[in-house]
A and B are shown apart, each in its own frame.
Chain A
Amino acid sequence: MSKVSMAIQMSGLSLRNPIITSSGTYGFGEEYSPFCSPSLLGGITVKGITPLPRLGNPVPRLAETPAGLLNSVGLENPGLEGFIRSYLPKLVELDTSVIVNISGFSIEDYAHLASAFQNDSGIAALEVNISCPNIKHGGMAFGTHPESAQEVIAIVRKNTDLPIIAKLSPNVTDIVEMARAVERGGADIISLINTLLGMSIDVKSQKPILANKMGGLSGPAVRPIAVRMVYQVYEAVDIPIVGMGGISTWQDAVEFMLAGASAVSIGTANFINPIAPVDILTGLENYCQQRGYGSVQEIVGLAHQR
């Protein structure tokens, strides 16, 4: 059998294969290296960076739900300076594409963060988390309002020459409207979905389990929602998509690619199986080979055929 080409090209971002790891689930790339060589992955997305260091939320930060996990880590991170000083030098040495995730609480934050990362920084792309609250506008998340989502992406576009991945929040009425807004803002790629806002209450203590009361739901429970959103966004925009949301097996990855994702990102599954990304890659490659595809890119969006 002939070998399947697993490489993918997405508007300025070339990856060895379509398997990425998700921000917040893979630390700064070090923790998983004993299990899974970064050189096997298409890329890794590092923990979200904010301008200043953050301690994040108090514990409990986690609550397990049926086929899912709620988290409210609260963007604990070493801040931009700390990241550049202590983590970036090691990250750029890794034999994989490194995607840096940035999170801000004002338009100025995003401008400041974006300007710190350019083509010569040794990273492959910037992923913009627009699910954070805009503290200057009553805490409404940037990513739940098309105008502010577009504005954030536009300011990032102005401040960096790296490929920009806009990460969409699913906590919106119309995901297509949000996708179009970030495309107008100048995003090169869209990633979706971020976590779904949820809550779990302890019936013994009669209080929410998470210290922050609410948190983001991930894991297999959210997958059908994510697949639906990828499918809808694929039909509405011209830029490529990184699909994520509960991908645990190669079949899940294929499902997202058929829905229109050019690449897929693995998050919560890493917690259960630290070599999940490699297992998924192997299964995806076998699937393409058995069906006679020369390139994995041929399956992207096939579910849209009539």
Chain B
Amino acid sequence: MVMILKERVIENRIMGDPIQMLYKMVISGQAAQTATPGQFVHLQVADSNEPLLRRPLSIAGIDKNTEEVTIYYKVIGKGTELLTRIKENEYISVLGPLGTGFTVPDSGELLLVAGGIGIFPLLSLIQAVDKEKVKLKLLWGGENKQFIESAGLIDIEKMGVNLDMSTLDGSLGTKGLVTDLLESYLGDNTDTIAKPKDNGKQNLRVATCGPKGMLQAVTKICLGHNVPVEVSLEERMACGIGACLGCVCTVKDLEGNLKRKRVCKEGPVMDGKEVVWDE
């Protein structure tokens, strides 16, 4: 259930290399009770008119027992900068959990493709998947070693995920783009990909988050291999609950008609197949 809550911040600290401006925030309270992987919370970063709007931040971790929601964020503007000033034990207005998250598979293989800070919403999915039943693989591309290490590499390794990385400068993992990793992975693992004769049974599915151009490329590659793909989108957002129609995404239905979906309500996670990328 969606709620407007005053929740206590129990942790808000910079992670790793300060130049990366990456932060971890843990919020204690009811939002954790109903949150699902891929959803987001809409936070009021300050009680002021500037910035005027709330800030949508994807949920990276959900702990229903301790009632904690973990958020990772990168400082990119005034809103996120104000967010860093919130101290432990201060309260923050949380609207959420909001939106429609990822499908959590209970069998087969789940391939996660992350671009930069697009890793953050995928963390909540890694956490939710039953690793006994689902084969999990993560492909993560970032700018360089400093970024990837600061963005929580050690924690991800601790989660026991099979991980391949790429960096633009080659300082960690393969030099190049994460889409290159995806191409070669799908090329090497054609046996796990559903064939038309499998009667729709899909062994391998992909969940991805990152910059829009990357999501478009990932979707194209996946669909080329007949692999279903869920994309977590980002858009400028106001209300966060589907009322203002500010954050729409264009989709094409089965009959080929163009429609709008709301990134905040039907998304942020959408079926990559229906997203119209070049409007």
Contact = CB atoms under 8 A, between A and B. Distances in A.
A62 B235 CA distance: 9
Contacts of B51: 64
Interface stretch (B125-133, B146-154, B213-221, B244-252): B244-252
Nearest to B51: A64
Interface size class of A (residues with CB under 8 A): 35 or more
Nearest to B240: A271
A63 interface: yes
Contact of A69 (B2, B53, B248, B259): B53
Contacts of B239: 25, 31, 270-271, 274
A27 interface: yes
B236 interface: yes
A34 B241 CA distance: 10
Given A62-B238, A220-B52, A272-B44, A25 B244 contact: yes
A61 B54 contact: no
B49 A69 contact: no
Interface residues of B, number: 33
A231 B44 CA distance: 33
A31 B242 CA distance: 6
A61 B52 contact: no
A135 to B, nearest CB: 22
A274 B245 contact: no
Contacts of A35: 2, 4
A220 B53 CA distance: 12
Contacts of B3: 34
Contacts of B250: 55, 58
Nearest to A246: B49
Interface in B1-52: 1-4, 44, 49-52
Contacts of B237: 62
B41 to A, nearest CB: 14
Given A59-B248, A69-B238, A272 B260 contact: no
A71 B53 contact: no
Contacts of B4: 35, 273-275
A269 to B, nearest CB: 9
A272 B53 contact: yes
Contact of A60 (B52, B236, B243): B236
A31 B241 contact: yes
A274 B95 contact: yes
A67 interface: yes
Contact of B238 (A56, A220, A221, A271): A271
Given A34-B1, A67-B50, A268-B52, A61 B236 contact: yes
A46 to B, nearest CB: 11
B248 A24 contact: no
Interface in A231-278: 248, 268, 270-275
B217 to A, nearest CB: 19
A24 B238 CA distance: 12
B161 interface: no
B35 to A, nearest CB: 16
Interface in A13-28: 24-27
B258 interface: yes
Given A62-B237, A67-B50, A272-B52, A32 B243 contact: yes
A76 B235 contact: no
Contacts of A63: 236
B191 interface: no
A79 interface: no
Nearest to A32: B243
Interface of A: 24-27, 31-32, 34-35, 47, 55-56, 58-64, 66-69, 71, 73, 76, 219-221, 248, 268, 270-275
Given A27-B245, A55-B259, A248-B49, 12 more contacts: A27-B243, A56-B245, A58-B250, A61-B246, A62-B237, A67-B49, A68-B52, A73-B244, A73-B246, A76-B260, A271-B243, A275-B4
Q: Which 8 residue pairs across A and B have the least CB separation, nearest first?
A: A67-B49, A27-B243, A31-B243, A62-B246, A62-B236, A271-B239, A271-B238, A31-B242
12 contacts: A27-B242, A27-B245, A61-B246, A62-B247, A63-B236, A68-B52, A73-B245, A76-B245, A76-B260, A220-B49, A271-B239, A274-B95
